[in-house]
Amino acid sequence: MNLSFIKCTFDDLKILREFSISTFCDAFEAKNNAEDFKIHLDYSFSKQKLRFELLNPNSEFYFAFLEKELVGYLKMNYNDAQTERFYPNAVELERLYIDKDHQRNGYGEILLQFAINKAKTRNPPFLWLGVWEENLDGIRFYEKHGFKKFETHPYFIGTEQQTDWLMRLTV
């Protein structure tokens, strides 16, 4: 069950985009308005936006492979790349997704531990993330690993405003 991690580069843009869209759709498409969801996908996973994020030295994407098969990915943000700027020394785990065919096999825990270890190298006060308040499985997953809700913020899927729980873990 060993996963290997590869830091994404600009050359990975096409695969990153396809995998990001696929995993996001699997997780949330059925629970959202189709038109708003398409607006969100077109913006959040556009080639231009992902290109900018890949080239940002304060953001890092990592693919997780089981042998040669891509099973998950994560994105971490530092400094001014964080989606909330009032945590300058913290580290944000913006995305952590496992392909639907590989869920419930412990890979999420391995990705999360990888993110925690990466965060620790920066000696932050905490690692934080946002999780949709209706994503009860996600909330339970993060709570199981010591994350605590400390705030909320709005998150938009197209024109629909949703609420994300902000959760953090002291590292």
Residue-wise DSSP of 36-71: HHHHHHHHHT-HHHHHHHHH-TTEEEEEEEETTEEE
Does the annotation mark 155 as catalytic? no
Q: Which of these is catalytic: 62, 73, 107, 142?
A: 142
The H or E element that residue 156 is part of is: strand 148-157
> Which residues, 6+ apart, have CB-to-CB distance to 97 below 8 Å?
19, 20, 23, 24, 27, 72, 73, 74
Characterize the bridge pairing of strands 91-98 and 127-132: parallel
**Tokens at 100, concatenated:** 């639907």
Q: Which residues are catalytic?
A: 142
